[in-house]
Structure 1
Amino acid sequence: MEPDAGWVPCDIQLTNWSMQPTEFQLAHWSMATEPEVCACAASLPVVVESAGTEIYGSCLQTYVPTSSIRGQLVECASATQNDRIGIEIEKAAQEFQADFHNMETNICSNPIHVFDKAAREFKFDVDMMKMKMHRYPARIRSLGELYTVPMTVSIGPYHHGRDHLKAVEKVKHVAAYHCIMESGRSAEEVYGAVVAVAGYARSIYDRNVVDSIGDDVFLPMMFYDACFLVQYMLTCTDAGLAHMDPALRSFFDANDKDVYHDIMQLENQLPWPVVRAVMAFRPVPLKEFVASLRGCLQDRKDRHEKPFVMDNAFEPPHLLGLLRYYIVGRSDVKLPTLPETESMSFSVSAIELAEIGITLTASKTTELVYMGVNKKGNLFAELSLSPLSLDDTRASVLLNMAALELCVTPSFHDAEDEAPAVCSYLLLLGMLVDREEDVHELRARRVLQGGGGLTNREALRFLTSVQGLRLGSRYVRTMEEIEDYKVNRRTWTKLRAFVYRNVKVIVAVISVIAALASIIGTIRSLKSR
């Protein structure tokens, strides 16, 4: 059926379209089980008008809405609480004993088979770790809903149905309509492409969430959310924006910052194969889209910045993972091995850096992976960091990219420098600030750009809140570079530190000496006359 000009997506029951069931749907249907029937309802008539379930106390019962049957159910529900508890305890004990017996039998009869199965299942979970739709680590969730709960639009199942996000569901229907119309293909065909990958999508979400969501909700959710993301991505490209429906464009223009804030949250993601299924019908110039957001952490844009190259071998888990990959960048420079030192500090303040002759400077690239100490001659050095224009949205983006790193990188120590780069970047910024004056110093050094966004106090609160992140390899490398600088210039750094700490006294003494010299010179000139 080709969609005509009057096609309205929200008026069509997508799940009722006639299509062959996918392997995932067949597997899902085959796993479905009938609800348990309470013993007190087992004697109810087999022929009923309509069936349903209702919970009385701890008894799940099949029932029909007739007065005679309802009476039997109420009679069942009137069992004393002590009896129910006793039955449940006895049942749980029996189940535990049976499970333990089965486990003991399996281990004794074929121990290698049991352990091998557990090892293979564990390996599968680890292998899929980079592609899963993760939940927030406790550390990130504790920082508050500003960084963890969408404000405008839900993407995927984790926040689906929240009251304050329901208004945008109609916009998703409009986005789906335009994706289909602009594709020149039938609605069934586009929707079917999403259904084909929905089984994979369901498998990588948190099972505790998606197991309670039926296909009648999950499949349309995947379809509408993917269409919404595709239309948003088109607004970030010249051709997509120029040809976009004026009403839809008006929505994205008015809510651009809030939508961007939401689609960059870890728990508000859609598996990339689902998005790609819609893009197969409504293409998005992906390089232009990435280029438009790659420098999203800065207000100032360098027109002469070296163009980036799309990595066709990279398979992102979702939109957040795609943009993080290009915001972080890839370091192709092999860093030299530093000599071991007797001891090393894992933190240093901005004042300590100034004392030993290391100044802060903003790097010329926006890619976060480029951070570290650059030596300037034998006596001075610079600690270089990518510049940042800090506001609520960028703070949220940074935290969510860091959350993704925490979820997909089991060991920061063994990972490539790019894997925990955002955590390293945030830790270095957090290390440098203890007071509002330190934030002001970051602004003076152009590491923090612009006058808008967070105030010094707000920036201090944010940067100090991230100091509990795991130590990324680039952070550790930077600490090693600082220690190496101190060891190789021990005499110079001690002298400079003494001068830095006593500069006011030294200036005062020099002023006194200069004044005395001037007075003595005047007296001598008078005597010579």
Structure 2
Amino acid sequence: MSIELNIEGTNDAWLQSLVDERSAIDPNQVKDDLWVRVPRVPSEFRAMKENTDCYDPLIVSIGPYHHGKGNLQKMEKLKAKMAGQFLSHSREAGEEMYSEVKVLVSDNYARKSYAEESTSQFDDEKFAQMMFLDGFFILQVLFNNLPKNILRKEEVTSITRDLFLLENQLPFQVLLRLMRIYVTSGHHSAVEDRTSSKQKLDRSIDRELVKTMEEFFKTIHEIPLHRESCWEKISNFSKLPRALILRFKSKDTNYSLYQYNHLLEIFYLKFLCGGRQNPLERFSNREITSWNRYYSVKELKDVGISCVPNHTAVFVDVNFRNTILGGALCIPPLNIEVSTKSLLLNLAAYEACSFFFFATCTSYICFMRSLIDKSEDVKELRSKGILRTTMGSDDQIAQIFKEMTTNLVPDSFAYRDVKNSVESHYRNTVKRWILHYNDPISKAVVKYSFIFGIAVSAFQAYLAQTKPRPCSCP
């Protein structure tokens, strides 16, 4: 229904048309939209032409959105072969896994996890088969059981990249039930006590599943090794008793894996939220005191603010540390690989679809873009160990960050303490004056100290020659 402004007509008719338009909103449709656990990438993300190829799988499809595409058929055949090999050795476990999937399909849990139009082409049997093959394939990736003898290294890398696409996710409850049966059937030796009660066994299995996923995540986001200073060792030692208490208390923690929707969400919560449900807890609650500008790495360096690595698993955890005259911008190291752009954009697309009131990943991407204006900024971050690149030149890396931020809107509250600190330092005229003249003054001191040293040495030599010698009488 189109609503037009009718200036000459009566106001009552136009106002009533607004009421009719409001009643056209179907509350059930809104509820269905909230039910979608694996949403599609928002249209505004796909509208960015330079990023179009970041949202589609290169080699393997998971779920209905990209199922049946011609360029993905090789992996479809591999999925069937791997599942068939498993069934030939563990028929009973395979039948139990397939039965569990059929239950999730029959009660509409699995089907309603996707946009409605994407599943209409599958009947329940075909849909369950797809869920089973896709879930079993993910298990083989997680437990590092892919047949690498028939897969090229580039294909294995592409598979890992494809498993972290927003539109290429499997409902986590499907994967969780498959994993529990797979582990219980003896295909993972870490769980030894299989005679315990079902509840205790499930918790033991879940702990192993968490460890397995964390090991897999390291292939995506590896934290560089960090050698602790003496002060850090002392500081960490003082925290040891509390850490041991917390670890003891969490020994029998229920991991509540039922709350997760898919692997990408778990990765997001671990590496962007640090395990917290609300990433805004990582940001300050202080009010914004001033309008803050953006400065590149070079501009910050010119005013005495250096960039240093912040060794933390949460790669969006940026903070500012004051020094005597300058400051240090602490940024977690980030590996720039072929799949990095795709991963960051899919994480940003995920949070855009998740009804979050914050934009953690989007704000991080935009913040990094503000620091990287030219190739020399990339070079400086590389030299500090903050950007670890395995592909492309510094110009190409700078271009990647420019392309990622097209049409992205960051959270205005994110990193505000960092921005306020940088702005406060930048406006401090005394510090800037000292830093500006620091280099000329230091050169002058060295120069004239050298001249003074030569003069003192010459004068001492002269005194040594002219000093009267004691008389030596026979």
TM over 0.5: yes
Per the alignment, in what secondary structure is the counterpart of residue 392 of structure 1? coil
How many Å apart are 1:407 and its aligned residue? 2.0
Q: State which of 139, 142, 153 in structure 1 corresponds to 2:49.
A: 142
Q: What is residue 174 of structure 1 aligned with on the other side?
A: 81
Q: Is the 8 A contact 1:148 1:265 kept in 2?
A: yes
Relative distance call for 1:373 and 1:125 in structure 2 (3 A) is farther
Q: What is residue 261 of structure 1 aligned with on the other side?
A: 161
Relative distance call for 1:190 and 1:337 in structure 2 (3 A) is closer
Relative distance call for 1:313 and 1:422 in structure 2 (3 A) is same
Q: What is residue 333 of structure 2 aligned with on the other side?
A: 387
Relative distance call for 1:441 and 1:409 in structure 2 (3 A) is farther
Q: Does 1:277 align with 2:177?
A: yes
How many Å apart are 1:445 and its aligned residue? 1.2
Q: Is the 8 A contact 2:38 2:169 kept in 1?
A: no
Per the alignment, in what secondary structure is the counterpart of residue 350 of structure 2? helix
Per the alignment, in what secondary structure is the counterpart of residue 359 of structure 1? strand
Q: Does 1:349 align with 2:288?
A: no
Q: What is residue 130 of structure 2 aligned with on the other side?
A: 221
Q: Is the 8 A contact 1:389 1:453 kept in 2?
A: no
CA distance in 2, matches of 1:280, 1:515: 75
Relative distance call for 1:354 and 1:362 in structure 2 (3 A) is same
Q: What is residue 30 of structure 1 aligned with on the other side?
A: none
Q: What is residue 66 of structure 1 aligned with on the other side?
A: none
Per the alignment, in what secondary structure is the counterpart of residue 360 of structure 1? strand
The CA deviation string for residues 130-152 of structure 1, in whole angstroms up to 9 with x for no partner, is x2332244335533354222121
Report the TM-score when normalising by structure 2. 0.70
The CA deviation string for residues 55-108 of structure 1, in whole angstroms up to 9 with x for no partner, is xxxxxxxxxxxxxxxxxxxxxxxxxxxxxxxxxxxxx9xxxxxxxxxxxxxx98
CA distance in 2, matches of 1:453, 1:344: 33
Q: Is the 8 A contact 2:169 2:264 kept in 1?
A: yes
Q: Is the 8 A contact 2:64 2:119 kept in 1?
A: yes
Q: Does 1:368 align with 2:312?
A: no
Give me the identity figure in percent: 22
* Matches for 1:15-414 after TM superposition, within 5 Å: 118=25, 120-121=27-28, 123-125=30-32, 127-128=34-35, 131-139=37-45, 142-180=49-87, 185=92, 187-198=94-105, 199-215=108-124, 217-235=126-144, 241=145, 248=147, 250-251=149-150, 254=153, 255-283=155-183, 285-295=208-218, 296-298=220-222, 300-301=224-225, 312-313=255-256, 315-328=259-272, 329-330=274-275, 337-338=285-286, 340-345=288-293, 347-376=294-323, 378-412=324-358
How many Å apart are 1:453 and its aligned residue? 2.8
Q: Gaps spanning 5+ residues in structure 2: where?
A: 2-14, 189-207, 229-235, 237-242, 467-474
Moved more, 314-323 or 153-162: 314-323
Q: Is the 8 A contact 1:362 1:446 kept in 2?
A: yes
CA distance in 1, matches of 2:254, 2:381: 33
CA distance in 2, matches of 1:383, 1:171: 47
CA distance in 1, matches of 2:161, 2:334: 16
Q: What is residue 414 of structure 2 aligned with on the other side?
A: 474
How many Å apart are 1:116 and its aligned residue? 7.5
**Which amino acid is 1:300 matched to?**
P
CA distance in 2, matches of 1:190, 1:522: 89
The CA deviation string for residues 362-408 of structure 1, in whole angstroms up to 9 with x for no partner, is 111122242121233x5332211110121112332222222212221
Relative distance call for 1:160 and 1:395 in structure 2 (3 A) is same
Relative distance call for 1:201 and 1:301 in structure 2 (3 A) is farther
**Which amino acid is 1:312 matched to?**
Y
Per the alignment, in what secondary structure is the counterpart of residue 267 of structure 1? helix
Q: Is the 8 A contact 2:298 2:376 kept in 1?
A: no
How many Å apart are 1:126 and its aligned residue? 6.1
Relative distance call for 1:303 and 1:497 in structure 2 (3 A) is closer
Per the alignment, in what secondary structure is the counterpart of residue 143 of structure 2? helix
**Which amino acid is 2:271 matched to?**
I
- Aligned residues, how many? 397
How many Å apart are 1:437 and its aligned residue? 1.1
CA distance in 2, matches of 1:334, 1:323: 17
Q: Is the 8 A contact 1:362 1:384 kept in 2?
A: yes
**Which amino acid is 1:264 matched to?**
F
Q: Gaps spanning 5+ residues in structure 1: where?
A: 1-91, 93-106, 236-240, 242-246, 413-419
Q: What is residue 200 of structure 2 aligned with on the other side?
A: none
CA distance in 1, matches of 2:306, 2:98: 56
Per the alignment, in what secondary structure is the counterpart of residue 328 of structure 2? strand
How many Å apart are 1:511 and its aligned residue? 8.4
CA distance in 2, matches of 1:479, 1:119: 43
**Which amino acid is 2:414 matched to?**
R
How many Å apart are 1:161 and its aligned residue? 1.5
Q: Is the 8 A contact 2:373 2:398 kept in 1?
A: yes
Q: State which of 388, 391, 403 in structure 2 corresponds to 1:465.
A: 403
Moved more, 148-157 or 421-430: 421-430
**Which amino acid is 1:248 matched to?**
P
CA distance in 2, matches of 1:493, 1:466: 35
Report the TM-score when normalising by structure 1. 0.63
Q: Is the 8 A contact 1:136 1:267 kept in 2?
A: no
CA distance in 2, matches of 1:264, 1:429: 21
* Root mean square deviation of aligned Cα: 4.1
CA distance in 2, matches of 1:319, 1:116: 38
CA distance in 2, matches of 1:210, 1:493: 63
Relative distance call for 1:291 and 1:334 in structure 2 (3 A) is closer
Relative distance call for 1:481 and 1:514 in structure 2 (3 A) is closer
